[in-house]
Amino acid sequence: MPAVYLFNADQDLALAHGDANYTAPPFARQLSHDLRLLPAWLAPAGSLIAVADAATAARDNRWLAERGLQVRAIAVDEVWTLGDEAQLRPWGWNATLCRLLHQAGATADVLPTREELSRWRAVAHRRTTIAMHRRMTALLGKPLCPTPVELSDLDAVRQFIGRCPGGAYLKMPWSGSGRGICHVLDADADHHAMRWAEGAIRHQGSLLCEQGLERVQDCAVEFQCHAGRCTVTGLSVFDSDFHSQYGGGVIDSQKRLHTLLASQCAELDTVVAALSEALEAEVAPVYDGVLGVDMMVYRDTHKQLSLNPCVEINLRHTMGMVAASLGEVHGLRGTFNVGRLPLPTDAVALTPVEAASRYAAFFVPLK
């Protein structure tokens, strides 16, 4: 039975909301529509991509065929004609998606249970990074960077920021791709940031607080969790802005990406092995599926390169996985990004560009 992929851009927002009655905001619905074929670049040959309806599927199949991609679009309400053995692979699982798929005809046999969704959401909470840091420190015999702390009191957050000479990153417990993060240099001067922090604590109960580090390179390790084991599926290298929002990725072979990161961190392979072991202890016992762990090469107080081995855990597909597939499977080299239309003049669209679209994934070849 072919795997059925589905791009739900509101995954992190739905996790933050928590229950099945969440309604995605207009920008997230637009993004889900515009990037609906993004999984085609990472899906194995013979896979299906679920889209809104039969008319959209017909248009998308022409686009896929023109690019030689050996996957096929199918209307979401036709997926269930394939039988109960359909292997659903959304961008990420959440209670709202399960409700919508059930309404579209999915049976309970092909959807995660309520208990599984609850366990996965708990692991997706950013406090899991604290457990990961502590476990990796024990495995490696030393800390690679300061461990995040979870705080639920605004005065404690202010005091934490004051102890960080490079400022601090305040992170909502559930968010991803750099959203739900605020970089604060001075709590007394940045009134907007502290109002944001107060609201975040009120809505999600706490903030994860991290010491600001001198960033050199953002990167990630992509994994597949199954039957209690974690397997590395690739590396990704990307850029982010002042508030750690995703700014685009590097498309290249895994060999070249490994060489780049190993030149900046001699302990890369040792750290990735420890990261795998820590995930098998903290995540794999309750989660089956793909995940990405964001890391960061930084300069420590002695100006030596070091590695933050667990900036963020994303229990879903990631843009890094798409970039890794574009480089390793499709043989491209360049940069990958998602942006508002119009595209840069040297860009090649990776998703359909239609009159009503606002966003596109695009590739800029290496010059």
pLDDT at 179 over 80: no
The per-residue pLDDT of the chain, averaged, comes to 93
Q: What is the DSSP letter of 186?
A: -
Write down all domains in the chain, each with its CATH number in brackets.
3-122 (no CATH), 146-211 (3.30.1490.20), 213-332 (3.30.470.20)
**What phi and psi, each to the nearest 5 degrees, are found at residue 333?**
-135, 135
Q: Which of 27-31, 83-87, 112-116, 359-363 has the lowest mean pLDDT?
A: 83-87
Q: Cβ distance 291 to 209 under 8 Å?
A: no
Select from 214, 213, 154, 148 the least CA-distant residue to 187.
Answer: 154
**What phi and psi, each to the nearest 5 degrees, are found at residue 205?**
95, -25
Q: Cβ distance 226 to 283 under 8 Å?
A: no
**What phi and psi, each to the nearest 5 degrees, are found at residue 308?**
-85, 110
Largest CA distance in the chain: 61
Percent of the chain scoring above 70 in pLDDT: 97
Q: What is the DSSP letter of 178?
A: T
Looking at residue 164, what is its pLDDT? 94
Q: What is the pLDDT of residues 48-98, one digit of tens each?
A: 999 999 999 999 999 999 999 999 999 999 998 877 667 999 999 999 999
Looking at residue 343, what is its pLDDT? 92
pLDDT at 177 over 60: no
Q: Which residue has the tokens 């016992």?
A: 285
Q: What is the pLDDT of residues 327-355, one digit of tens each?
A: 999 999 999 999 999 999 999 999 999 88
d(CA 159, CA 268): 33
**What phi and psi, each to the nearest 5 degrees, are found at residue 92?**
-165, 155
Length of the chain: 367
Q: What's the pLDDT band for 200 if we cut at 50, 70, 90?
A: very high
Q: Mean pLDDT throughout 293-298?
A: 96
Q: What's the pLDDT band for 243 if we cut at 50, 70, 90?
A: low
Both tokens of residue 199? 């609201």
> What is the per-residue burial (b if ≥16 Cβ within 10 Å, else e) of 310-342?
bbbbbbbbbbbbbbbbbbbeeebebbbbbeeee
Looking at residue 81, what is its pLDDT? 83
Beta bridge partners of residue 76, listed in sequence order: none
Q: Which of 5-9, 84-88, 223-227, 278-282 has the lowest mean pLDDT?
A: 84-88
Q: What is the pLDDT of residues 267-290, one digit of tens each?
A: 999 999 999 999 999 999 999 999
Looking at residue 178, what is its pLDDT? 53
Looking at residue 363, what is its pLDDT? 96
Q: Highest mean pLDDT range out of 80-94, 108-122, 240-254?
A: 108-122
Both tokens of residue 76? 């979401």
Give start and end residues of each alpha helix (H) in the chain.
Answer: 11-17, 26-34, 54-66, 95-103, 114-124, 128-140, 154-162, 191-204, 254-264, 268-282, 319-328
Looking at residue 86, what is its pLDDT? 73
